Amino acid sequence: MRLRSFITGSAVLALAASGLAGSTALATPGAGTVTDPAPPTPIPKYSFDRPVRAHADGIKLKTADDAVVRMFTLTYKSGGFSGWHKHPGIVVAVVQSGTVKRKLPCQHAETFTAGQAFTEVGRHYVYNADKTPDGAGTPAVLKITQIAPEGTTDKAFREDADQPTCGPRT
């Protein structure tokens, strides 16, 4: 009788564990995006060769050490999306044309249109808000400025991240 209870209990635990493993969030790479300059050409990097402390009119910029600055154009084709990802440092995105939505973990998406800017810090997901089933929607074009720690490699400027799992809000 004890052996049967042990086997039954083990089977229940194994089933529960396989269910948990099956619900693990996976990284979500993007699709439908184009950068300028286009790979394999590396995006030019510029450097702050020392810590920066600048402030004026209520705006502050401070780095603890040397930093790298990259600037490029990012186009989201109709239906294009970034996938969940994160960056080292801070990204400032300026919408040149079109409309994008940015999602932060467990929050509603915010909409940004031409002439608006937003920051990317931590895990986030961006997508073209003008997507049509036939792919004929308007592309969204963003000018990107990224400030990251000195020594950040080209591959490390963007890291795929797991899709967040959000529980009920209390």
Residues 136-167: pLDDT tens digits?
789 999 999 999 999 888 878 889 999 999 86
Residues 6-18: pLDDT tens digits?
333 433 333 333 3
**Nearest Cα residue to 47 out of 3, 89, 109:** 89
pTM (2 decimals)? 0.77
DSSP-assigned letter for residue 157: G
Residues 24-77: pLDDT tens digits?
456 667 888 888 877 767 888 899 989 999 999 999 999 999 999 999 999 999
Q: What is the CATH number of domain 27-151?
A: 2.60.120.10
Residues near 12 by beta carbon (within 8 Å), at least 6 away in sequence:
none
Apex 119 CA angle, 44 and 159, nearest 5: 60
Q: What is the CA radius of gyration of the chain?
A: 21
95: Cα separation from own chain's centroid: 16
Is residue 57 left, alpha or beta, with left meaning phi > 0 and alpha meaning psi from -120 to 50? left
Q: How far is CA 52 from CA 30, 65, 153, in A?
A: 33, 8, 21
